[in-house]
């Protein structure tokens, strides 16, 4: 018992050091920066601008998290009954974007969204009645969402796949023997059991999309500026003091959302464990 406690303490020491270096000191720097120059911040940014940028960032991150979670849940449920070899092939395809440099990923999305690309011809095929030029999706919020989903989807699959494999076959077989339709089994049995993993996947992809910088900067337009893009612009213009409040918001918001969803997911996981026992 004493050895186990000592091992835990030795494990907590580097964790605490990383927490202090990566969170406490930056948080103190942000707070001191806000207190040091509120006048400069008010000259550059108004409250309406901050609220608009925050709401835009929340909308984009929320949409990306919802779509990534839905896609990952659907894909993992589809590949679950496959053989081990087929599962590995499917996971390799899902994880492939993680091995591609972000510059190439962004360039690929830009190419697909540009006029004259195969995607534009596909749109022309889908909408043959459109007589004029099809609207360009490049440098729009749609392009930002697509680019972020391409980045967060592999992570979502990585989180969702293990809980999907752990679904109890006896419960599924019992539902089938009782005559439950597949859709009812999915909605009333499988998804409730996967709900903790679904919530954690949503929170993780939300935090990743909320703090993304390169993808929104390369694919987004002037009407969908995110918090990270605004902070980067202020730093480039030498207005680092004005970015303190924005950085504070960008740090606290995902932590609050992840913490709240983690607590809810942990409670649901304990409840599901009691239900299965």
pLDDT tens digit string along 94-107?
Answer: 998 888 888 888 88
Same domain for 52 and 31:
no
Shared domain check, 255 and 200: yes
Q: Which long-range contacts (CB under 8 A, 24 or more apart) does 76-82 make?
A: 76/157, 76/160, 76/161, 76/164, 77/164, 77/186, 77/190, 79/161, 80/164, 80/165, 80/167
Where do runs of H (alpha helix) occur along the chain? 2-19, 25-36, 38-44, 47-79, 84-95, 102-113, 118-126, 141-165, 169-177, 182-185, 191-210, 214-219, 227-236, 244-276
Contact call for residues 214 and 151 (beta carbons, < 8 A): no
116 and 232 co-located in one domain: yes
Confidence at residue 36, expressed as pLDDT on a 0 to 100 scale: 44
- 2 versus 194: the higher-pLDDT residue is 194
CATH value at residue 52: 1.10.3720.10
Q: Is 111 in the same domain as 5?
A: no
What would the DSSP string read from start to end of 120-171?
Answer: HHHHHHH-TT--SPPPP-TTSHHHHHHHHHHHHHHHHHHHHHHHHHTS-HHH
Q: What is the pTM of this model?
A: 0.79
Residues 170 and 120 in one domain: yes
SS3 label, residue 226: coil
Give yes or no: residues 5 and 91 share one domain.
Answer: no
| Whether the Cβ atoms of residue 160 and residue 76 lie closer than 8 Å to each other | yes
Residues 6 and 101 in one domain: no
Q: How far is residue 230's CA from residue 72's CA, in Å, rounded to a whole number?
A: 30
Domain count, the chain: 2
Of the given ranges (166-170, 206-210, 229-233, 238-242), which has the lowest mean pLDDT? 238-242
Contact of 176 with 223, CB cutoff 8 Å? no
How high is the mean pLDDT of the chain? 80
pLDDT (tens digit per residue) in 112-127: 777 666 666 676 666 6
Same structural domain, 115 and 218: yes
What domain range includes position 128?
45-276
Q: Please tell me which of 23-37, 121-135, 147-161, 245-259 the model is most confident about, judged by mean pLDDT.
A: 147-161
Q: What pLDDT digit, counting tens, does each position of 38-86 carry?
A: 455 555 567 788 888 899 999 999 999 999 999 999 999 999 989 999 9
**Per the structure block, which two tokens stand in for 234?**
């202020």
Asked if residue 227 lies in contact with residue 54, where contact means CB atoms within 8 angstroms, the answer is yes
- How many CB atoms sit inside 10 A of residue 8's CB? 9
Pick the residue with more confidence: 134 or 27? 27
Residue with the larger pLDDT of the pair 177 and 242? 177
pLDDT digits (tens, 9 = 90+) for 139-167: 888 889 989 999 999 999 999 999 999 88
Return d(Cα 60, Cα 230) in angstroms, integer.
15
Q: Read off the pLDDT of residues 208-235 as tens digits, 9 standing for 90 and up.
A: 999 898 889 888 887 888 988 888 887 7
Do 84 and 148 share a structural domain? Answer: yes
């Amino acid at each position: 018992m004493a050895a186990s406690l000592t091992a835990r303490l030795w494990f907590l020491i580097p964790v605490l050091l990383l927490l202090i270096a990566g969170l406490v000191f930056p948080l103190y720097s942000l707070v001191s920066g806000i207190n040091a120059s509120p006048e400069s911040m008010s000259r550059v940014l108004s409250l309406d601008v901050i609220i608009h940028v925050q709401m835009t960032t929340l909308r984009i991150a929320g949409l990306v998290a919802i779509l990534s979670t839905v896609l990952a849940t659907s894909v993992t449920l589809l590949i679950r009954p496959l053989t081990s070899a087929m599962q590995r092939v499917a996971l390799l395809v899902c994880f492939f974007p993680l091995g591609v440099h972000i510059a190439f990923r962004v360039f690929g999305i830009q190419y697909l969204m540009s006029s004259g690309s195969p995607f534009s011809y596909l749109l022309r095929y889908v909408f043959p009645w459109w007589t004029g030029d099809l609207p360009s999706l490049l440098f729009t919020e749609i392009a930002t969402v697509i680019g972020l989903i391409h980045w967060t989807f592999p992570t979502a699959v990585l989180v969702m796949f293990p809980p999907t494999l752990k679904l109890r076959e006896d419960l599924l077989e019992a539902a089938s023997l009782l005559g439950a339709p597949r859709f009812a089994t999915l909605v009333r049995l499988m998804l409730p059991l996967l709900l903790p993993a679904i919530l954690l996947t949503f929170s993780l992809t939300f935090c990743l999309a909320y703090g993304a910088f390169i993808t929104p900067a390369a694919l987004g337009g002037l009407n969908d500026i995110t918090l990270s893009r605004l902070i980067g612009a202020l730093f480039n213009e030498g207005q680092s003091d004005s970015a303190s409040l924005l950085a504070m918001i960008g740090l606290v918001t995902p932590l609050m959302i992840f913490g709240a969803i983690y607590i809810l997911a942990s409670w649901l996981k304990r409840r599901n464990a009691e239900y299965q026992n």
